[in-house]
């Protein structure tokens, strides 16, 4: 961790510095590998390591397990779920995006970015990256064992750290809920743009089909045959503009998916990893500490009972030895508890470093709307003069009809 002089608990990062650590692309390999059981493979490319390697989903799983093993007190983003059978194209694409968010959050996380496991995952091109990852974690221990500050973590924590932890957890819960709703709405907006593109394309095709109709006119309609022929010719030419409108709407929807929805999902993944970390803190370190204390109290009672009953010296000595071991275990649990709070405090600071991403998201959303409406408005305006022949009157001059108002037809 980059730390200013003074309290090592405090971080000094900006969002730009985190984003500049690395940008990792995850692209789907078109062909499924495997002789009998087919599996999807991804090309993972890192700017930082200037590398491009091929990874399976199970490689991500092993890498994720190594991170949890080595960094149990840090925000380890969750992996997307594995789907064994019936994985359709939509599911595979959603998982690819989720894997890209995962590896970018990891590659930009200060402790993770300096760990050998990340370098192996992003740059090792050998035949078995999973074993290589497992070998790198052997006999290393977790961050508590390797961090020189771990035994002194309590000295750097504020006196009201428990209160701050509770407040931070509530704040993250509220932010997560709000951003979850924003993401859902952004998805609907992007989806509507893509649906609008499909409707515009079909609308144009139907106009073209109408203009291309070769059904002969009945004899009683020959009086207006020239009018119908002109209309058909005009309608047939409009499909080009509607195809262009559809393309502009589809571009806007895709841009909002990539620049708005994906960034919201990235931030939600980060917030979820903090929520998961809080649960690991309570269910892991705190729970183990309580169990150790309970076991210690049982041993003390057994010791008192053995002393009163004047048992054999050997059995009493063994019990004393076990009590000493348990006291050491409790002390270690206490140190781990403080180190866990130390890491939680730093992880909360990292969440706040990512908060300015909100302005990036809103800026991308506004720019997408402005650009999209501007481009579509131009196409609509270019289309309007081509409608003149549809409104041509007896003299041949354009006479656009008056539209009915309030549902009443003009007389």
pLDDT the model gives residue 411 = 46
Average pLDDT of the residues of the chain: 84
271 lies in which domain range?
188-214+227-391
What's the CATH number where 267 sits?
A: 1.20.1270.60
Max CA distance (Å), the chain: 124
In a domain, 404, yes or no: no
Number of domains making up the chain: 2
137 and 192, same domain (yes or no):
no
In a domain, 169, yes or no: no
133 and 24, same domain (yes or no):
yes
Residue 131: pLDDT over 90: yes
Helices 116-123 & 129-137 angle (0-180, nearest 10):
170
pLDDT the model gives residue 215 = 82
Torsion angle of the four alpha carbons 307, 309, 315, 320, in this order, in degrees rounded to the nearest 10: -20
116 and 248, same domain (yes or no):
no
In a domain, 408, yes or no: no
- The SS3 assignment for 67 reads helix
In a domain, 63, yes or no: yes
CA neighbor of 258 nearest in space, from 155, 172, 360, 345: 360
Residue 149: pLDDT over 80: yes
124 and 46, same domain (yes or no):
yes
- Tokens 């309590």 belong to which residue? 154
Q: Hey, how many other C-beta atoms are within 10 angstroms of the C-beta on 239? A: 20
What's the CATH number where 110 sits?
A: 3.30.1520.10
197 and 83, same domain (yes or no):
no
In a domain, 167, yes or no: no
239 and 360, same domain (yes or no):
yes
CA neighbor of 105 nearest in space, from 276, 272, 270, 257: 270
123 and 198, same domain (yes or no):
no
Looking at 77, 107, 141, the residue that finishes a domain is 141
136 and 248, same domain (yes or no):
no
User: Could you tell me the pLDDT band of residue 1, with boundaries at 50, 70 and 90?
Assistant: very low
286 and 355, same domain (yes or no):
yes
In a domain, 156, yes or no: no
Are the beta carbons of 266 and 360 closer than 8 angstroms?
no
133 and 197, same domain (yes or no):
no
In a domain, 220, yes or no: no
User: Could you tell me the pLDDT band of residue 27, with boundaries at 50, 70 and 90?
Assistant: very high
Q: Give the pLDDT confidence of 72-95 residue by residue, as tens digits.
A: 999 999 999 887 666 678 888 999
Both tokens assigned to 343:
């890491």
- Tokens 């509530």 belong to which residue? 170
Q: Give the pLDDT confidence of 346-367 residue by residue, as tens digits.
A: 999 999 999 999 999 999 999 9
- Give pTM, 2 decimals: 0.83
In a domain, 260, yes or no: yes
Distances (CA, A) of 221 to 119, 224, 225, 232, 392: 78, 6, 7, 15, 18
Across 374-393, average pLDDT: 82
117 and 205, same domain (yes or no):
no
């Amino acid at each position: 961790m980059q730390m200013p002089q003074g309290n090592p608990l405090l971080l000094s990062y900006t969002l730009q510095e985190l984003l500049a650590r690395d940008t990792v692309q995850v692209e789907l390999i078109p062909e499924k590998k495997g002789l009998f059981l087919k599996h999807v493979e991804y090309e993972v490319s890192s700017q930082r390591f200037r590398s491009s390697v091929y990874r399976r989903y199970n490689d991500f799983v092993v890498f994720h397990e190594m991170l949890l093993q080595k960094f149990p007190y840090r925000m380890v983003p969750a992996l997307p779920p594995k789907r064994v059978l019936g994985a359709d194209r939509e599911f595979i694409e959603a998982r690819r995006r989720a894997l890209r968010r995962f590896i970018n959050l990891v590659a930009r996380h200060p402790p993770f970015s300096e760990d050998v496991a990340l370098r192996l995952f992003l740059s090792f091109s050998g035949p078995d990256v999973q074993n290589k990852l497992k070998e790198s974690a052997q006999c290393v221990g977790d961050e508590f064992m390797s961090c020189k500050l771990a035994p002194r973590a309590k000295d750097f924590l504020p006196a009201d750290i428990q209160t701050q932890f509770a407040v931070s957890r509530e704040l993250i819960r509220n932010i997560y809920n709000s951003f979850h709703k924003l993401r859902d709405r952004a998805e609907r907006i992007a989806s509507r743009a893509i649906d609008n593109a499909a409707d515009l394309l079909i609308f144009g095709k139907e106009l073209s089909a109408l203009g291309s109709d070769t059904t002969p006119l009945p004899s009683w309609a020959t009086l207006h045959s020239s009018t119908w022929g002109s209309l058909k010719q005009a309608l047939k030419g409009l499909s080009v503009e509607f195809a262009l409108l559809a393309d502009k709407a589809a571009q806007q929807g895709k841009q909002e998916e990539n620049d708005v929805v994906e960034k919201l999902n990235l931030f939600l993944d980060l917030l979820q990893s903090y929520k998961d970390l809080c649960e690991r803190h309570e269910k892991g370190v705190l729970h183990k500490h309580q169990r150790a204390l309970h076991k210690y109290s049982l041993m003390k009672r057994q010791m008192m009972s053995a002393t009163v009953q004047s048992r054999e010296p050997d059995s009493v000595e063994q019990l004393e030895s076990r009590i000493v071991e348990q006291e050491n275990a409790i002390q270690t649990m206490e140190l781990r508890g403080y180190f866990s709070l130390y890491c939680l405090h730093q992880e909360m600071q990292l969440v706040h470093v990512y908060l300015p991403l909100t302005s990036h998201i809103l800026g991308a959303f506004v720019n997408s709307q402005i650009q999209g409406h501007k481009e579509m408005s131009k196409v609509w305006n270019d289309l309007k003069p081509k409608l003149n022949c549809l409104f041509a009157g007896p003299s041949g001059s354009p006479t656009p009809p008056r539209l009915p108002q309030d549902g009443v037809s003009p007389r």
